[in-house]
Amino acid sequence: MSKYITPEDIFNALDYLPDDCQNPVIEGDHCVYTDIDGNHCIVGDIMVKIGFEPPGWEDHNNINPISQIIEDRYPEEFDHDAIEMLVVGQNTADKLTHYDDPLAWGNAKQDMISFYKRLKDEENK
């Protein structure tokens, strides 16, 4: 049976992520899903926690946007809003990693939580 991932699934996974973390980077400017030591970026870590495999170190897709990864590998398993929530987190964590912010993941989590709360507020209108 295949999984169908919703924003709530992403929201629930956030509790298990540290705040004081940055995404792995190669060649000084590309954040990757998985580095040579097996460490994941925030979105790669979320994917593992919800039961999906992110691109590996030697995968040619290791630097592609999450929306492209999902479209290529898991096109039927993710709700559109769940993808957007991951995009929000990926963009924040990547940007803050490049600024060497030690709380890149914490800020990315807050942005994803805000996205989720806006979705819930819209649903309740």
What DSSP string runs through 80-99?
Answer: HHHHHHHHHHHHHHHHHHHT
Lowest mean pLDDT among 4-13, 27-36, 60-69, 93-102: 27-36
For 12, the token pair is: 């629930």
- 2 within domain boundaries: no
pLDDT at residue 41 tops 90: yes
Sign of CA dihedral 77, 82, 83, 89: negative
- Average pLDDT over all residues of the chain: 95
Question: Mean pLDDT, to the nearest integer, of 37-52?
Answer: 97
Structural domain count of the chain? 1
- 21 within domain boundaries: yes
pLDDT at residue 53 tops 80: yes
Residue in 72, 71, 67, 64 with CA at minimum distance from that of residue 31: 64
- 56 within domain boundaries: yes
- 1 within domain boundaries: no
- 59 within domain boundaries: yes
pLDDT at residue 1 tops 50: no
Cβ–Cβ under 8 Å, residues 75 and 39: no
Domain that holds residue 42: 7-123
Whole-prediction pTM = 0.95
